[in-house]
Amino acid sequence: MATTTADTIRFVEAAAATIAENSTYLTRLDAAIGDADHGANMERGFRAVLEKLPGVAEKTPADVLKLVGMTLVARVGGAGGPLYGTAFMQAGMAVQGKGTLDPADVVAALAAALKGVVNRGKAEVGDKTMVDALTPAVAAAQAALEQGDDLATILGKAAEAARSGMESTIPLVARKGRASYLGERSAGHQDPGATSSYLLLKTLAAVAAST
């Protein structure tokens, strides 16, 4: 089944709800190793996205994704805005011009999002960032696609891999961002960016499963 503009909007709306529900949790994680604003910033950004969604209801999935990206860059403070904004904009560019998306398109968008985050943040696996969740998620999605899995299964496997990646950040010493200033004291805390990445992928998988 192809992913339509309406499906993409449904994901964005669900993502906004997920972020709102977990805003306090994400901010609490960020308070331990960052500026204590990740949840609040992300919630504000997605609230702004919701206000603009009606403007792309008749356009393409790429238009929806790029709108999300541009809005997050403009409205989310800290590192989250530029990184998530880049992720969504690169995902949109990867599927530019397509009226509907097949599973290969969705996986390509995820891969482009990860590449955008890596290029923007210069982080790699083990640095205790969102890359620790996104990298295994994309690898799992690509493997599932090659096996011929349907989209819901592909994204379910991606979300599970992201969860493992998120949890792997707990013992790590941060090497990027504000958390890196803490040195060894950053170990023992789950990275908030990896957590929000997992939550978004989990939401994407749930929307695909219910479509």
Distant-in-sequence contacts of 102-110, Cβ < 8 A, 24+ apart: 102/2, 102/3, 103/145, 103/149, 103/150, 103/151, 103/154, 104/145, 105/3, 106/3, 106/141, 106/151, 106/154, 106/155, 107/138, 107/141, 107/142, 107/145, 107/154, 109/65, 110/137, 110/138, 110/141, 110/158
| Res 178 pLDDT > 80 | no
Q: Average pLDDT, whole number, for the chain?
A: 95
- Using DSSP, state whether 3 is helix, strand or coil: strand
Q: What is the pTM of this model?
A: 0.95
- Tell me the per-residue pLDDT of 92-124, one tens digit each, with 9 for 90 and over: 999 999 999 999 999 999 999 999 999 999 999
Q: What pLDDT score does 176 carry?
A: 78
Q: What pLDDT score does 182 carry?
A: 78
- pLDDT band at 1; cut points 50, 70, 90: low
